[in-house]
Amino acid sequence: MQGKGVIKFFAILLAVVCLYQLSFTWVAHKVENDAKVYSKGDSEKEKAYLDSVSTLPVYPVLNHTYQYCLDRELALGLDLKGGMNVTMQISLRELVQSLSNNNADVAFNQAMANAQKRSVTEQKDYITLFVDEYEKLAPNAKLAAIFANSNNQDKLKYNSSNADVESYLKDQASTAVQQSYTVLHTRIDQFGVTQPNIQLQKSTNRILIELPGVKEPERVRKLLQGSAKLEFYQTFDNTEVYGLLNNINGLLAAKNKAAAPKKDTSIKADAAKPAATTTAATASKDTSAAAKQASSLLNKLKNANPAAKDSAGLNKTQIAAQNPLFAILSPATYQDQTGQPQLNPGPIVGYAAVKDTAKVNNYLHSADIKSVVPQNLKFLWGVKPIKNTKVFELYAIKLAGAENGPVLSGDVINDARNDVDQLKGGYEVTMYMNQQGAQKWKNITAEASAGGNKKAIAIVLDDNVYSAPNVQNEISGGVSSISGGNFTLEDTKDLANVLKAGRLPAPARIIGEAVVGPSLGQEAISAGLLSCILGLVVILIFMIAYYKRAGTVAVIAVLINVFFLMGVLVSIRAVLTLPGIAGIILILGVAVDANVLVYERVREELGLGKSIRIAVADGFKHALPSILDANISTFLTGVILFLFGSGPIQGFATTLMIGIVTTLFCSLLISRLIFEFMLEKGWDITFSRPWSSHTFKNANYGFVKNRFKFYAFSGIFIIAGLISMVTRGFNYGVDFGGGHTYIVKFTKPVTTEQIHDAIDATLGRGTEVKTYGTDNKMSINTNYLINDNAPDADARVQEALIKALATNPATKIEAKQIEAHQKVEATIANEVKASAKWTIILAIIVISAYILIRFRKWQFSLGAMVATAHDSLLVLSFFSLFKDILPFSLDIDQAFIAALLTVIGYSINDTVVVFDRIREFLELHHAKTDDPKEVINHAINNTLSRTIITAFTVVLILVILFIFGGDVIRGFSFALLIGVIFGTYSSICVATPVIIDFGKKDLR
């Protein structure tokens, strides 16, 4: 074997990298276990502990922080961890209406309504449909007359063509989607979700959001669907507000002392007595004394650390009692050249850790404190923490006017762009205002820049300060540049999008969501791990039992393969989902298949009288083409799944593709290295036991001769299935049919009839009820209010379900008994169905093209195409024929499509191995005068051992997955199970007969 040194080096390097990547998960879990021990079941205490250590080094030697490790640990999908998955769609109809200034033109409004209807069923973007409808209704009219105005004259003229207007609208739609993405991203960050995933879908007006661990879905819905509120505020300077904060601190300390009068303290507060008449103006007196006091307090508080030991914890308690506010809110100070503390200039008045912001808010908004805070002062937090920390800045906002509001609202902004500062370098944002806003902005900036002390103007979105730049001079003309020394390109893009948020009111609606409760997620983890472990154990036992010592080598290779697979998944930040676990289990079968191919070849070489060393070398050599062809075809299936799938399906595809690469490396190289080592040591290597050495040896079944019987069987089954598809149809899952699906756990076993009796009168007779694993767990699918676009529609559906179930004491539930919820609107359901159809067709075409390239005969490609189409139709027929007969769900959903494509990949994998042996026999082992039918039949029988053993091991794994994998993927695993059986059958009984019947002359 050549290049052993290179292979060893690469294997060791890969092992070290995988070990390093997996170590983050171990370290993060250790910290989380410590938090559980420390909190003793108190969730708030556990969260406070984790927040306190987030920026502390917890990784030995390398000193990585807990947050660093957490960001790099193995991420779990929502189906394993619990949480909420949301698909949001930007309302382009409302955007178009807004850009027209709510034009009353009849044709214009009718075109919008028609485009909205068509967008539900047609796979075209809304703007294209709108323009098309308008041109039908008003063929001689120009859209520019509706959309062109003084605010967009640089982009649109009154004589612009409809094509120009369409381009303008699409550009505005893209901008609206991007700014909504920025706003939603910020809202999610403010919600405090750990490891959220927010993705902007390219070429669509949709945003996908995953929120692990969310327990308040209704709060999330309100948070995400609220309109963006952009405002500009004047600010107070830190020196004007510190005295007030000091008084608040003293007032809180006095309350603490009154509550515990006998308690002795070792730290004496030096806070001034609060006065009810305090104002921001009077608070600015004696700033030097205030700075000294701030320094004193900071010195006392600098060691108050949530992660400190017990003695430090006592000190922290004392500090919190004497200085309640300053114990959690550090004043904004700096040291001058003499080392003396001074108050920072500017609107930032303090800093607090994220875990303390809620407590600071409670202090500042309490009734007693509100009485001493001026009515024109409001405290707001910065939009995100200071870089590489979990510390937020607190701003002092000055309210203006009789209503105590902003000095300017965001609807005056025409545009905002991220630019490069040509004079100073760095990044900046250029903001353009309309005429009305420009005049107000001139007056505001003139006031802020008057005198020597330049004031800041705060840019606030949804009550979070995005930026508070100092105004250097009066700005006329409505064009302003906002720059910051620490601005990055992403910062300026975000700020530009935020500034445009007030100009383009395009609300985002939830059109699809899935909520998985933590209990269901924990069940999924347990079921997934159990099926993984059992599948691995069973396969390893079988390999050792069947192949003896060579089986032990396969066991080692498979274990290394799983280790590499997990390490690579973590390193690329892949999210492990339940279908992903199924992918890992399937990879075990693929890995076994590669080893079986090699071992069966070695056994053939040994049967020819070759020495063990030569037999091993020739076995690997002759098995290589079949292994590569089989795995490349499966890999292509994974690529198609990844490109056209979403969410868990992409997770499955990622696992499948990575697993194929690691399988090839381990089965072809690592296994070979182990055999070379064993041969060098002179160890006895055996590839069979007495009972397994003659399995299928000299088999001579008449597969070719009986091919018309196979045609008849398949034809009858498929025709019956097609009739069933037309007459009975399928049970569509919610992501194909649309609607709401609830997984409900009842207190006691209930029947579907009891549930129907309770809910049909309210939710409608179209509601589907199915048993979900156990007699007390049900899946309820309803279209009730699915077309209601109101923000509270989902909450009303759930409320109606609970109320309806309460009419029968046996079915009565509470909200917490709803373990999962999924919602899909008809628009996205239709897109999913269309995408699934074309994905399957594309998979068949791509794989057939690969077969044509590899085998250079169209008959082989046709055979592969017919076999894959045959397998797809058989599985679909099965799911239609038996949909209401089997005692578990046979839904057609995205997971089913993933299973079907995997079946296609497996079928091609199996077919390619048979094709390789047929090609070999036709080219090498037989003269041209031999009957091709006999040659092909002999080739099929020759590879029968490998085909049956591989199918047996994969079926064994899938049976384990079906039994122990849990209810969530039972339909998925069953589709794989019957698909593998049909795929094995088709590779022998369908694909090869097609070659014979369409290539009688060419094969000779």
664, part of any domain: yes
732, part of any domain: no
82, part of any domain: no
Residues 256 and 331 in one domain: yes
| DSSP letter (8 states) at residue 105 | -
HEC profile of 894-955: HHHHHHHHHHHHHHHHHHHHHHHHHHHHHHHHCCCCCCHHHHHHHHHHHCHHHHHHHHHHHH
Of 73, 102, 133, the position where a domain reaches its end is 73
Q: Which contacts qualify for 353-358: CB closer than 8 Å, 24 or more apart?
A: 353/51, 353/52, 353/328, 353/390, 353/391, 353/392, 354/51, 354/192, 354/385, 354/390, 354/391, 354/392, 355/47, 355/48, 355/51, 355/52, 355/306, 355/390, 356/328, 356/329, 357/381, 357/392
79, part of any domain: no
Nearest alpha-carbon partner for 974 in 920, 893, 910: 893
734, part of any domain: no
Residues 858 and 963 in one domain: yes
Residues 49 and 173 in one domain: no
The CATH number covering residue 804 comes to 3.30.70
User: What is residue 337's predicted lDDT score, i.e. its pLDDT?
Assistant: 82
Of 49, 73, 97, the position where a domain reaches its end is 73
Average pLDDT per run of 10 along the chain, which is 1004 residues long?
Answer: 82 93 91 88 79 81 84 79 80 86 89 86 83 91 88 83 90 82 74 69 73 75 75 90 90 79 40 32 38 48 37 54 85 84 89 86 88 91 82 92 85 83 76 87 88 83 85 86 74 79 67 72 72 82 88 90 92 80 78 86 87 91 85 84 73 86 92 91 86 77 88 93 91 75 87 86 79 78 79 83 89 85 71 74 82 82 87 90 81 78 78 83 62 82 84 85 76 85 89 80 57
232, part of any domain: no
Residues 556 and 689 in one domain: yes
User: What is residue 298's predicted lDDT score, i.e. its pLDDT?
Assistant: 47
User: What is residue 477's predicted lDDT score, i.e. its pLDDT?
Assistant: 84
| Cβ neighbours around 289 below 10 Å, total | 13
Of 42, 73, 104, the position where a domain reaches its end is 73
Tokens of 164: 């120009």
CA angle 564, 558, 955 (to 5 degrees): 120
pTM above 0.85, yes or no: no
SS3 at position 369: helix
User: What is residue 715's predicted lDDT score, i.e. its pLDDT?
Assistant: 92
Residues 67 and 191 in one domain: no
Residues 391 and 468 in one domain: no
Residues 63 and 128 in one domain: no
User: What is residue 14's predicted lDDT score, i.e. its pLDDT?
Assistant: 93
Q: Which contacts qualify for 213-221: CB closer than 8 Å, 24 or more apart?
A: 213/81, 213/82, 213/83, 213/518, 214/83, 214/84, 214/515, 215/518, 217/84, 217/513, 217/515, 217/821, 218/794, 218/795, 220/84, 220/86, 220/191, 221/510, 221/513, 221/791, 221/794, 221/795
Residues 6+ apart with CB under 8 A from 43: none
- Tell me, rounded to whole angstroms, the distance of Cα 792 from its chain centroid: 25
Residues 486 and 535 in one domain: no
The CATH number covering residue 700 comes to 1.20.1640.10
733, part of any domain: no
Cβ-count burial of 115 within 10 angstroms (0-12 exposed, 13-18 middle, 19+ buried)? Answer: buried
User: What is residue 846's predicted lDDT score, i.e. its pLDDT?
Assistant: 83
Residue recorded with tokens 């944002």: 429
Tokens of 1003: 């094969």
> How many domains does the structure of the chain reveal?
6
Task: Quote the domain boundaries for residue 421.
Answer: 407-504
Residues 339 and 481 in one domain: no
Residues 416 and 395 in one domain: no
343, 333 contact by CB (below 8 A): yes
78, part of any domain: no
Residues 719 and 582 in one domain: yes
Residues 531 and 595 in one domain: yes
518, 459 contact by CB (below 8 A): no
